Structure 1
Amino acid sequence: MAEYASDNRLTEVIRACVESLASVPSIVFGLFGYVLFVDVFQIGLTILGASVALSLLNLPVLTRVTEEALRAVPVDVREASYALGATKSQTIIKAVIPAALSAIVTGISLAACRAFGESAVILLAGGTGTSGEMWDFNLLSPGGNLPVYLWYVQSEALVPDAKEIAEKSAAVLVCIILLMSTFFRIPVWWREFRFKRKILLRRK
């Protein structure tokens, strides 16, 4: 969409569809996952269904962020690459994507954190409980995430310290999201540090 597709009515329609999907509420994607995996395929509430629904939820946002990041790269970068004899694919891989990497990683970080904090999609497509095993890698088993557990404890739990459990769960959720955001930024920070270090060494 950013590099190969020409600006015509087809690409305009595709962009309009992507932007429309980005504005759809998450509960609609959850209902879609429920209908697809529970009613159509009849495999029940599963981690697989929740994963597919979450992917469809975040794909439009990630698509738009990535496209805008690639389009924001100055034309001079492409022209300089072509002047050195690079092909279009080499220019995209070696020049355009590295120049837009910071914005792309930011978009991935936002999408990942949004997926981790999502509850409506998991509730409808993955369920509220788990299989009971400590390390269960079966994609066809039910699986609720921390936001779903937080909602369940806050609304359905009968234990006297339910409010305290919910508050601590929310604190853990915030800490995990902050750690995820930092983890996604580490490669960009390291790349920028190496780039600045090379410039300083060349000046010396």
Structure 2
Amino acid sequence: MMKKLTPLIEWGTLLFCTGMVCFFLVVILWDLISKGAPSLSWEFVTSLPSEGMTKGGILPAIIGTVLLTMITALVSVPFGISCAIYLNEYAKDTWLTRLIRASIRNLAGVPSIIYGLFGLALFVQGLQMGTSLISAGLTLGLLSLPYVIITTEEALRRIPASTREAALAIGATQFESIRDVVLPSALPGILTGVVLTLSRAAGETAPILFTGVAFYINNPTGFLNQEFMSLPYHLYMLSTQHQAIEEVRPLAYGTALVLIIVVFLLNLTAFYVRYKHSKDE
């Protein structure tokens, strides 16, 4: 009797938990959409803030977020993928590699505000880059690096050893087998992990709080060595620090909705890449 009830209990628990998560997700999205949609317009997306941030748009915050995400990708993706390839394909299983893997996983669990303090000490003060876009991008790159390594290594581990052996059997070198066989097969998993990591980095506030983000910048483009605006910090300031919180609340909901859309598009890109690759196969 218990053997028959156990699967039903497991499935019931799973469905209940899934339903609860979906329910609260729908409630949150409905709240954001219903309160943020009236603020969305072409002018809101393409204009500068005005009148003490109580009117205008969020163009500098959008541009700052995009540039910050690009710098994060340039820092974390090449180094993260290269490190994962070495650990999974070349490094032997020794105490040193096990220690390195454990350290990487521990780094992935470090609170983001600690990375912000580290970026402040290293890039802003130590390397004298100042509070700037490049300092914040490098800090977020360090934060994203462990996630890229972990997801890439997991994607490489899913490739059967027989695939590598087949490539070596026909005369390919280890480098050629990795480049031409292993990496193309693991590419969907790698890209999915990278995009999801970047979408998480795009929503971070604590690391950039100490390294370069500003409340207001009247230059929507800016330079790498200057302060910048970002959607997460802009939302935080409108929601908690503005002197006219009630007046700017619709703008805060509009900013939150734009940020959700950006993150959703990044996640949708990851799912599309995986779907297209599985369809081609």
The interval holding the TM-score normalised by the smaller chain is 0.7 to 0.9
Moved over 3 A (4+): 184-195
Instruction: Tell me which residue corresponds to 1:116.
Output: 202
Structure 2: state its 5+ residue gaps: 1-86
| Corresponding letter in the other structure for 2:226 | S
Query: 226, 237, 253: which one pairs with 1:167?
Result: 253
Instruction: Tell me which residue corresponds to 2:146.
Output: 60
Shift of 1:185: 4.2
CA distance in structure 1 between the aligned counterparts of 2:129 and 2:280, rounded to whole angstroms: 49
Shift of 1:43: 3.8
Instruction: Please say if 1:46 is aligned against 2:46.
Output: no
Query: 79, 86, 104: which one pairs with 2:190?
Result: 104
Percent sequence identity is: 36
Instruction: Please say if 1:125 is aligned against 2:244.
Output: no
| Corresponding letter in the other structure for 1:91 | S
Shift of 1:36: 2.1
CA distance in structure 1 between the aligned counterparts of 2:123 and 2:195, rounded to whole angstroms: 28
Whether the aligned pair in 2 keeps the contact of 1:105 and 1:185 (CA below 8 Å) is no
Shift of 1:189: 3.7
Whether the aligned pair in 2 keeps the contact of 1:131 and 1:141 (CA below 8 Å) is no
Whether the aligned pair in 1 keeps the contact of 2:152 and 2:193 (CA below 8 Å) is yes
Shift of 1:179: 0.9
Instruction: Please say if 1:157 is aligned against 2:233.
Output: no
Instruction: Tell me which residue corresponds to 2:56.
Output: none
| Corresponding letter in the other structure for 1:156 | Q
Query: 106, 115, 119: which one pairs with 1:20?
Result: 106
Q: TM-score, normalised by structure 2?
A: 0.65
| Corresponding letter in the other structure for 1:144 | M
Instruction: Tell me which residue corresponds to 1:69.
Output: 155
| Corresponding letter in the other structure for 2:179 | I
Query: 87, 94, 97: which one pairs with 2:173?
Result: 87
CA distance in structure 2 between the aligned counterparts of 1:130 and 1:92, rounded to whole angstroms: 47
Structure 1: state its 5+ residue gaps: 196-204
Instruction: Tell me which residue corresponds to 1:147.
Output: 232
Aligned residues: CA RMSD: 1.7
Instruction: Tell me which residue corresponds to 1:198.
Output: none
CA distance in structure 1 between the aligned counterparts of 2:224 and 2:216, rounded to whole angstroms: 11
CA distance in structure 1 between the aligned counterparts of 2:185 and 2:251, rounded to whole angstroms: 44
Which structure would you say has the larger RCO, counting Cα contacts within 8 Å and 6 or more residues apart? Answer: 2
Number of residue pairs matched by the alignment: 194
| Corresponding letter in the other structure for 2:144 | N
Q: TM-score, normalised by structure 1?
A: 0.88
Instruction: Tell me which residue corresponds to 2:70.
Output: none
Instruction: Tell me which residue corresponds to 1:5.
Output: 91
Shift of 1:127: 2.5
Shift of 1:42: 3.8
